[in-house]
Structure 1
Amino acid sequence: MRLTSRKSDRVEPEVEEACGVRELAIIEAPSVLGLRPTGVEELPRALLGAGLVEGLGAVRGGRVEAPAYEAGRDPESGVLNPGGIARYSSALADTVGCALDRGLFPVVLGGDCSILLGNLLALRRRGRYGLLFLDGHSDFYQPSAEPAGEVASMELALATGRGPRVLADLEGLGPLVRDEDVVALGFRDAGESEEAGMQALPPQLGAVDLDGVRALGAAAAARGAVGRLGEYWVHLDVDVLDDAVMPAVDYRLPGGLSWAELESVLRTALGDERAVGFDVTIFNPRLDPDGSIAARLVDCLRRGLSARTGRG
């Protein structure tokens, strides 16, 4: 089983340094170890091909290839690919950490949501950081309640130190993030997760569901969320978007944020100087045969990232 990371190379030949602005480092993390190889692994190619980094000022931060997918559920941990995810998380953390060491702002293109563990591990090696968690699902399942043992449904629980030790205590540094340093924003799966028997979100963890975002307004909800945090990572599962505009995901759920609402949240969160990195997960290009959804997603992401770079 081999993990590889390609060396950095520049996307644009000239990048200007600006006070308080960090150059973007694009890192490809096409792992589906926490889900299934259904097409999510093609996310980096699709978004880069649709022009994600054009004009933003960016360097290539590398690509981390995942080990072979094993479909059998591990009897000890109760999840799929626990060893592979643990090793992949360490390799991804090395690559993200390299970008951070160079003073860059990592933009990690998944893959499924299990890549969050590697991103947070890179930060945990450095100290205490927060997490803004943008997802249509709260992803706080324990293995006994997750029907297929998919880590992409439990990464927030694992990141906060709950679950099998092989993933909840990566490198002996778990939890990767403290409950009080997390805000989950925009989820809408309360009924579904309760029916499945998912463990409850802890009271110390900030939680603003879709109705809460709508009550406050997207920008105000995002300002309130990041106001709770110190330096923080931003995680985006694109199924936080309304299913009517983002059907190219494997687990669909009615409702969700509009494009304008997500852009507002991203501009607020990524434009704050305390943001240290960003990942995008779960978009499945095979469910977008004409590329129109990828193009619209790239437009939204570019607008959000432009608040960080002052470009685009």
Structure 2
Amino acid sequence: MITLLSAPSNLGLRPPRRGSVPGTAKAPEALREAGLHIRFAARGATDGGVVLPARYVDDDDTRESGHVRNETALIEHSRRLSARVTEALAAGSAPLVIGGDCALLLGAGIASARRGRTGLVHVDGHTDFRHPGNSDETASVAGEALAAAIGLHWPAIADIDGLSPYFAAARTAHIGHRDDDEEQEEVRALLGLVTPAADVVARGASDVATASAAIAGPDGYWLQVDVDVLDPSVMPAVDSPDPGGLTAAQLTDLLRELAPGAIGASITVFDPDLDPDGRYARLLVEILDAGLSELGTRVTG
């Protein structure tokens, strides 16, 4: 069984303009309007409700050095999301978290660490590996979530409740970055497996998914999917579109292969403000319905 959890958080993103608010917080309801919950309910999924974040604040003028934007609110939301993910897992359900930005990975990671730790398959058009050790511009967890998830960030976010690392680097597989990603060499040196988008295209989704699942572990893994892994010609409604991504069919095939072995999944960074007529929300619903319908069905732990 799948439990849908809405997590309309934009706390980890920089504002699109000074004083403005990122649109990703609207994604869960935009996808609901496009039919996501109806589709999954027809397959037996339950609606687990909403995990609301605190108000987004553009705090660039007031934030002290050594802190990420919206830090206190982000940590609190991560804890509450973790609790809801844990509840779903304890009930024998596979949580499907609909975000929101990819800082939601922290909440999933806390739940994973409390459960006894699982692997991670991270599907994203970027490595999200900026951290204090490689950048002087660390501030937005949405671009730093993978680094934080394996313990490479300030302890306030990478070691919430003393649980760092939320995922072991050796059991983490990343899929989907572009060839010009600045952190890709560091990621290759640290993670269990790293596969750029071009390799998914060249090798096929099945081969990449099989290799990634083997690294993340046979006892289940968390599946994080940032929709900017899609090429912008397919999905421009994201905050950082980069050419060289996957087609809708390629992402669907990848998710279809990965979903059964996942204990749960999170879907992030779709921005309805960049989708005024709803066409990209409808496309994303088609991808998720076809790709994630078997979420958690091969997990035995």
TM > 0.5 fold call? yes
Other-structure match for 2:8: 30
**Counterpart AA for 1:292:** R
**Structure 1 length-normalised TM:** 0.86
Structure 1 position 31, deviation (Å) = 0.8
- The superposition leaves residues 134-160 of structure 1 with CA deviations (integer Å, 9 ceiling, x where unpaired) of 000000001472647211000000000
Contact 1:56 1:309 in 2 (8 A): no
Other-structure match for 2:280: 293
Structure 1 CA distance, aligned partners of 2:33 and 2:278? 10
Query: Residue 57 in 1 paired to residue 44 in 2?
Result: yes
- Bigger mean CA offset, 65-74 vs 129-138: 65-74
**Structure 2 length-normalised TM:** 0.89
Q: 5+ unaligned residues in a row in structure 1: which ranges?
A: 1-22
**Counterpart AA for 1:179:** A
Of the three residues 195, 216, 229, the one matched with 2:216 is 229
- The superposition leaves residues 210-269 of structure 1 with CA deviations (integer Å, 9 ceiling, x where unpaired) of 122223211211111112222101001000001101000111111200111101100000
Matches of residues 1-312 of structure 1 in structure 2 within 5 Å? 23-35=1-13, 36=15, 37-53=21-37, 54=39, 55-73=42-60, 74-143=63-132, 145=135, 147=137, 149-188=139-178, 190-193=179-182, 200-201=186-187, 203-205=189-191, 206-230=193-217, 231-272=220-261, 275-308=262-295
Aligned-residue CA RMSD (Å) = 1.8
Contact 1:186 1:210 in 2 (8 A): yes
Question: 1:34/1:308 Cα in 2 relative to 1: closer, same or farther (>3 Å)?
Answer: closer
Contact 1:244 1:255 in 2 (8 A): no
Contact 1:123 1:129 in 2 (8 A): yes
Contact 1:27 1:107 in 2 (8 A): yes
**Counterpart AA for 2:47:** R
Structure 2 CA distance, aligned partners of 1:174 and 1:158? 9
Q: 5+ unaligned residues in a row in structure 2: which ranges?
A: 16-20
Structure 2 CA distance, aligned partners of 1:308 and 1:176? 21
SS at match of 1:27: strand
- Bigger mean CA offset, 165-174 vs 227-236: 227-236
Structure 1 position 192, deviation (Å) = 4.6
Contact 1:140 1:199 in 2 (8 A): no
Question: 1:265/1:146 Cα in 2 relative to 1: closer, same or farther (>3 Å)?
Answer: farther
Question: 1:41/1:139 Cα in 2 relative to 1: closer, same or farther (>3 Å)?
Answer: same
Structure 1 position 58, deviation (Å) = 1.2
Contact 1:96 1:106 in 2 (8 A): yes
Structure 2 CA distance, aligned partners of 1:98 and 1:300? 26
SS at match of 2:36: coil
Structure 1 CA distance, aligned partners of 2:206 and 2:146? 23
Structure 1 CA distance, aligned partners of 2:30 and 2:288? 13
SS at match of 2:266: strand
Structure 1 CA distance, aligned partners of 2:296 and 2:44? 8
Following superposition, which runs of at least 4 residues in structure 1 exceed 6 angstroms of deviation? Answer: none
**Counterpart AA for 2:283:** R
How many pairs were matched up? 282
Structure 1 CA distance, aligned partners of 2:149 and 2:114? 13
Structure 2 CA distance, aligned partners of 1:60 and 1:300? 19
Structure 2 CA distance, aligned partners of 1:223 and 1:234? 14
